[in-house]
Structure 1
Amino acid sequence: MIRSKIEIHDKFSVIIDVTYDRISKSKKSKYTTLTYLFLPDSLNINGKTYPATKFYNDVRLFLKYDTPNYTLGEISRGERLLLKNLTKNTEIFIKNRTNQNFPLFKNQVKMFAATLSSLLRDETDTLIKRKKISNDEIIDFIEKINLIVSEFRAIVGMLKESSLKDTHMNVVFYADEHISNEIELQLMKLFNNIKNRKIETNSLEMIVGLIESEQKYKKQKNYVSPKDKNVNPEDLLYKRNRLKKYIESVFFLYQDIRKDGAMFEQTVLAFAAGLAMVFSTAVAFYYQQVYGNFTLPFFIALVVGYMLKDRIKGSVSQLFVSKSNSFFYDYKIKVTNALDNKIGLIKEKFSFVPLKILGPKVKKHRQKDMVIGISERSLNEQIIEYKKKVTIYPKKFGSDLSDENILGLTDITRLNFHRFIQYMDDPKKDYILVKKGEVYMKAANKVYNINIIQKYYTEDGIEFSRYRVIMNRNGIKRIEKVVLD
């Protein structure tokens, strides 16, 4: 099973977030994804101006475990294993503070904080997207947060009384501060979204009260708090970002990136060198027999033979390598976890492709919702194909984290479109409006559409999705999801 979404990361970048589920505990799970970028020809992005090296400079790949499948309600009611595992591993570590138990304890603390933060973001977004939010829903959301945080901070208090080393306690303090920051951030986002809606006043007061309570708590615990007048806002944001990276690193995986088919390529180059050497040696033997040693014709034959040897070596190498590229990807990425266990393999390949080789469904999805009804030949677009082959190895999957709810591998691909703006027109263009006999000049945004179609091969069949990235010279304005048949 595959779950995917595309979001704006910053003004020039988008994030393609794809989660691949581990289908079986004994059988490898295999997926192939094809991402097509349809670029207007006016951007001058083609095989000549935009080679693979530039594309891979514009792409960043992050790999992580999919966040465990919990809900805030389950955690607040004490169901599932998240809080139970945290309490259990904390008690084990307090009794037996060995170097073997510390990584398990540290990962459990970070995993709880990272999962809770993710659930807070998800539930906040869910509430914001609703057309109507009831007072009871907001009260329920805040009560869940209070209940979970009180249980977690009870564990923090238990650890403080256990006389752990500062290095051990810091893990818990960092998680506590990060959770408080995330509560503050998500509640502020919720408040800003609903303050102009028809919501009962006590709901808004509860949100503000909890934000203020968290800020006071941070100041009391000597965490970086906006309540502290001596705190530089730049330092506050920097520390929050560092804490977020530290906590969420528990789910991120390691990548060993290598060129695909490197051994085969070196073998081909060696074969080409040997073939050229055979030719030059044969020429030398032949003319030695005909003209003898130390003669001018023999000397000339040797020079010509070595000249041809170099050309044969280069031509044969180029021919073989170019032909073999169709059998290999550009790069292969070995995915390993914190215990250095191999849990997956990803291969990736970039190329420009002509429209005629795309399948009929891809063409059909591209022509959906066209502003002007034109034939596919008239689209006049450059098409980038970014292909990935994903294999998940089940035996060691999640072996570094003590949570059986980790079932998927998430591939976060960040695409930077900054190179695409070079040939874009000015972001504003004038147009004429006639109204009541008067002529007016109006300005409108000059935008470009970059269409993205994704094609997934899974064990359940083929899936498609399509998005439209609307941008101009100032950056990305929005992303629209196109509903397919």
Structure 2
Amino acid sequence: MIKSKIEIHDKFSVIIDVTYDTISKRKKSRYTTLTYLFLPDSLNVNGKTYPATKFYNDVRLFLKYDTPNYTLSELSHGEGNLLTNLTKNAKIVLKTKSDQNLSRFKNQVKMFAATFSSLLREETDSLIKRKEISNNDVIDFLGKIKLILSEFRAIASVIKESSFKDIHKNVVFYADEHMSNVIELELMQLFNSFKNRKIGANSLELIVALIESEQKYKKQKNYVSPKDKNVNPEDLLYKRNRLKKYIESVFFLYQDIRKDGAAFEQTVLALAAGLAMVFSTAVAFYYQQVYGNFTMPFFIALVVGYMLKDRIKGSVSQLFVSKSNSFFYDYKIKVTNALNNKIGVIKEKFSFVSLKNLGPKVKKHRQKDMVIGISERSLNEQIIEYKKKVTIYPKKFGNDLSDENILGLTDITRLNFHRFIQYMDDPKKDYILVKKGEVYMKAANKVYNINIIQKYYTEEGIEFSRYRVIMNRNGIKRIEKVVLD
């Protein structure tokens, strides 16, 4: 099973977020993904101006465990919930302070804080998108947050009074501060949304009260708080970002990136050198027999033989390597967890392809919702194909964390489009409007559409998705999802 989405990361970057599930606990799970970028020819992005080295400079890959599929309520309720498990592990580590128990406990604290933050973002977005919201919905939502915080902070108080070293205690305090930061930011988004929609004043007061409560709590605990007048806003944002990276690092995996087929390539180069050497040696033996040693003809034949040897070596090497490239990817990434166990392999490959070589369904999806009904040949686009082959090994998957519900690998690919803007026109263009006999000059955004089609090969079949990235010289304006048949 595959879950995917594309979002704006910053002014010139998008994030393609794909989650691959482990299909079986016994056998490997395999996926192949093809991402096609359809670029207007006017951007001057082609095989000559945009080689693979530039593409991989513009692509950043992050790999992580998929956040367990819970709800906020399930964090503190239900059999084997995360808070109960965290409390049990706290008691275990307080009783037996071994390195293994400490490491397990610290990872579980970070995992709980990261999971809580992710679920809070999801449920906040869900509330914002709902058409009708009652005061009871808001009370229930805020009540779940308060309950989770009170139970987690009870654990933090126990750890604070323990004989642990500060370096171990700080993990719990960092998690507490990070959760408080996320609550403040998400509730602020909820407040702004409700205020614009003119939802009941009582709901807004409850939201503001919890935000203010968290800011006072942070000041009381000597966390970085906006209520502290001596806090530099730059320092506040920097620490929040560092805390986020530290807490969420528990889910991120390690990558060992190698050139794919490197051993085969070296073998081919050695064979090419051997063939060239056979030729030059044969020439030397032949003319030695014909003209003898220390003669001018033999000397000339020897020089010519070595000249041809170098050319043969270069030509054969180039031929072999070019032919072998079709069998290998550009890079092979070994994915390992915190215990240095291999849990998967990802191979990636970049190339430009022509429209005629695309499958019929990809062509059909590209031509859907065209502004102008034109033929395939008239599209005049350059097409990038970014291919990934994903293999997940289930035996070691998630064995470094204490949650059996971690079943997915999330591939976060960040694509930077800044290199594409150099040939874009000015972001504003004038057009003429005639109204009541008067001629007016109006300005409109000059935009470019970069279409993205994704094709997924899974054990359950083939899936497609399509997005349209609308941008101009000033950056990405929005992303539109195109509904396919």
Instruction: Supply the AA of the counterpart residue of 2:362.
Output: V
In the alignment, residue 206 of structure 2 is paired with which amino acid? M
Check whether the contact 1:453–1:464 (CA below 8 A) recurs between aligned residues.
yes
| Aligned partners of 2:76 and 2:83 also within 8 Å | no
Q: Equivalent residue for 2:66?
A: 66
**Offset of residue 198 of structure 1:** 3.3
Alignment of 1:210-229 (within 5 A): 210-229=210-229
Offset of 1:132 from its aligned partner?
Answer: 2.2
CA contact (8 A) 1:81 1:403 kept: no
Per-residue deviation, 1:77: 2.8
Task: State the shift of 1:80 in Å.
Answer: 4.1
SS state at 2:196 partner: coil
1:284 is paired with a residue whose SS is: helix
Matching residue's letter, 1:17: D
**Corresponding letter in the other structure for 1:278:** V
CA distance in 1, matches of 2:282, 2:198: 92
User: Partner residue of 2:203?
Assistant: 203
Could you tell me how far 1:387 is from its partner in structure 2? Answer: 0.3
1:211-239 Cα shifts (integer Å, max 9, x gaps): 00000000000000001111100000000
RMSD in angstroms over aligned alpha carbons?
Answer: 0.8
Identify the range of structure 1 (131-140 vs 238-247) with the bigger mean alpha-carbon deviation.
131-140
What is residue 176 of structure 2 aligned with on the other side? 176
Runs ≥4 residues deviating over 4 A: none
State the distance in 1 between where 2:80 and 2:296 align. 89
Q: Distance in 1 between matches of 2:470 and 2:196?
A: 28
Counterparts in 2 of 1:92-107, with a 5 A limit? 92-107=92-107
Contact kept, 8 Å, 2:453 with 2:465, in 1: the verdict is yes
Please name the residue that 2:267 is paired with: 267
**CA positional deviation for 1:131:** 2.1
Q: For the residues of structure 1 that align with 2:416 and 2:138, how far apart are their CA atoms?
A: 37
SS in 1 for 2:440: strand
- The residue number in structure 2 matching 1:454 is 454
2:111 counterpart of 1:111: yes
Contact 1:110 1:175 in 2 (8 A): yes
Cα deviation code 1:53-90 (max 9, x no counterpart)? 00000000000000011100212435543112211111
| Equivalent residue, structure 2, for 1:332 | 332
TM-score calculated relative to the size of structure 2: 0.99
Deviations 1:389-442 (A, max 9, x none): 000000000000010010100000000000000100000000000000000000
SS in 2 for 1:239: helix
Are 2:422 and 1:422 equivalent residues in the alignment? yes
How far apart, CA to CA, are the structure 1 residues paired with 2:93 and 2:373? 67
Q: State how far apart, in whole Å, the 2-side matches of 1:381 and 1:240 are.
A: 42
Q: Does 1:50 align with 2:50?
A: yes
Note if contact 1:29-1:393 (Cα within 8 Å) is conserved in structure 2. yes
Q: Return the letter of the residue paired with 1:225.
A: S
> Are the equivalent residues in 2 in contact too, given 1:258–1:331 (CA < 8 A)?
yes
Assess if the C-alpha contact under 8 Å between 1:17 and 1:410 holds in 2: yes
Question: 1:236 is matched with which residue?
Answer: 236
Q: Distance in 2 between matches of 1:328 and 1:164?
A: 51
- Secondary structure, aligned partner of 2:302: helix
Give the percent of matched residue pairs that are identical in Structure 1 and Structure 2: 88
CA distance in 2, matches of 1:101, 1:80: 19
> Mean Cα displacement is larger for which, 81-90 or 370-379?
81-90
In 2: Cα distance, 1:133 partner to 1:200 partner: 9
CA contact under 8 A between 1:349 and 1:386: conserved in structure 2? yes
- Look up the equivalent residue of 2:392 and give its one-letter code: I
- Partners of 1:231 and 1:78 lie apart in 2 by 41
Q: How far 1:193 moved relative to its partner? A: 1.1
**Displacement, 1:194?**
1.0
Q: Does 1:252 align with 2:252?
A: yes
Letter of the 2:220 counterpart: Q
Q: Secondary structure at the match of 2:23?
A: coil
Conservation of the 8 A alpha-carbon contact between 1:74 and 1:80: no
Distance 1:65 1:253 in 2: 7
| Alpha-carbon distance in structure 2 between the residues aligned to 1:196 and 1:289 | 96
Residue 258 of structure 2 aligns to a residue in which SS? Answer: strand
Which runs of 5 or more residues in structure 2 are unaligned? none
Q: Is the 8 A contact 2:127 2:133 kept in 1?
A: yes
Cα deviation, 1:255-281, whole Å, max 9, x if unaligned, reads 000000000000000000000000000
1:75 aligns with 2:75: yes
Contact 2:74 2:81 in 1 (8 A): no
Partner of 1:357: 357
Number of residues of Structure 1 aligned to a counterpart in Structure 2: 485
